[in-house]
Amino acid sequence: MSALPTYIDRYPAKMVASLAEKLVSRYTATCTELLDPFCGSAAILAAGQQRGIPVAGIDINPYAVLLSKVKLQGFDLELARHLCSCLTRRANFLREAPPIDWRAKDYWFTAGTIQKYEKLNLAARELGLSRNREGRAVLLAYALSIRRCSRADQRSPKPFISKQAIKCRKGLYFDPTREIPALLEKLGKLYGVPKRLGARVFCADLRSPKIPVKMSVSVSHIMTSPPYINAQDYFRNFKLELHLLEGLLPFETSDLKYRFIGTERGELLRGIKDETVQSHRAMLPQLKEMESTHPWHAAIVHRYLADMSCAFDSMKALLKKNGVLVVVCGDNLVGGYRIATWKLLNALLQRRGFVQFDQFGDEIECRNVPPQRKGHKGLIKREVVSAFLNSK
């Protein structure tokens, strides 16, 4: 498949299709259902679906779940066009709508643009777009229009207002009611056919003990690329979309912003026991030094390891005995310290009785990165694929 335009398939640190296809080809000979519990932009699930494997995904990010559902379930383009027309007509007809409750909205959007989004938001709720495939396709076109109608730099996966953006976009009015139908047409060329082999995709926190109940049955294979330690602030990457999708999908932005694994937000050490901290220091000896020199960064690492431990407990509960777990991860630069994140994750898995049977490295050649600017973090150049059996 040829590369998609960045604004159609924008997702931070997403897995390239060639690696996803390689993993599915290498490890799924006996697969009866493939689960990606950090499904993101659905690269792994799409590769599995192309081979006729039943697939399921979980992600805490409502935008990721919306994107994955549209990709994997498809939609009827004619019906979606009709819904889109109803949406834009209704929004243009409305004289006023409840304001979007976000203090920063006037920084990112002109007054005319944000007023139009408020009308679109009300019209979308009236139409109940999240209830079916065609409505979700229109919602995805709505979500994709948000960055394009903002003042943000269009080159970066992380929204910021650069000198170039100020020069090219300041004071311009962008009309989302014109942008959304055009984006729907592009989505229609990619995904505009309903698919028989529908995927199950859930918006959920993998640290929750309710995850196995929600899935209802265990799976034979789990394949995923977990979040990195502070490599991407996933909330910041999607804050424009999430604030304008609130009320259209079942989530609250104020709660979600602190729950992404790998975050730098909130009370990072809250709820982490002293024995857990000691265990992390044993796994990563440089942590003790980090606690003295870079205490905030050390807290990020402690939070990440505690969260990934909970996530791996859920994965173990979801995976059949002797099922296959494949994890893709690289290393990180945190507070000036190079951390082999993949080694830490492998150690957490081995503590839970997973037995490694394969491993190889994969060089990252074509990952899109933000424009160079002050404070830009180290780029992940190489990832490690580790495969395990759930032996206990």
Query: What is the domain count for the chain?
Result: 2
Query: Are 154 and 7 spatial neighbours (Cβ–Cβ below 8 Å)?
Result: yes
pLDDT given at position 62: 96
Q: Is residue 51 part of a domain?
A: yes
What is the spatial distance between Cα 359 and Cα 350, in angstroms, rounded to a whole number? 14
What does the pLDDT look like over 305-332, one tens digit per residue? 999 999 999 999 999 999 999 999 998 8
pLDDT given at position 157: 76
- On the question of pLDDT at 376 being above 80, the answer is no
What is the chain's Cα-based Rg? 21
What does the pLDDT look like over 245-286, one tens digit per residue? 999 999 999 989 899 998 888 899 999 999 999 999 999 999
Q: Is residue 8 part of a domain?
A: no
Percent of the chain with pLDDT strictly greater than 70: 92
pLDDT given at position 213: 58
What is the spatial distance between Cα 262 and Cα 280, in angstroms, rounded to a whole number? 15
Q: Is residue 365 part of a domain?
A: yes
Q: Helix, strand or coil for residue 311? A: helix
Q: Edge-to-edge strand order for the sheet containing 200-203? A: 200-203, 55-59, 34-36, 219-224, 319-329, 382-390, 354-363
- On the question of pLDDT at 91 being above 80, the answer is yes
Cβ burial, residue 271 (10 Å; 0-12/13-18/19+):
exposed
Q: Please provide the average confidence, as pLDDT, over all residues in the chain.
A: 90
Q: Is residue 67 part of a domain?
A: no
Domain limit, last residue, from 191, 216, 247? 191
* Residue 309 structure tokens: 């431990």
Highest mean pLDDT among 83-97, 143-157, 253-267: 83-97
Q: Is residue 197 part of a domain?
A: no
Do 187 and 212 share a structural domain? no
Q: Of 22-26, 155-159, 200-204, 339-343, which gets the smallest average pLDDT?
A: 155-159
Range of the domain at 148: 77-191
What does the pLDDT look like over 19-34, one tens digit per residue? 999 999 999 999 999 9
Mean pLDDT value of segment 110-136: 96
Smallest CA-to-CA distance from 200 within 69, 60, 40, 32 is with: 69
What are φ and ψ of residue 364, in 5° steps?
-90, 115
Cβ burial, residue 368 (10 Å; 0-12/13-18/19+):
middle
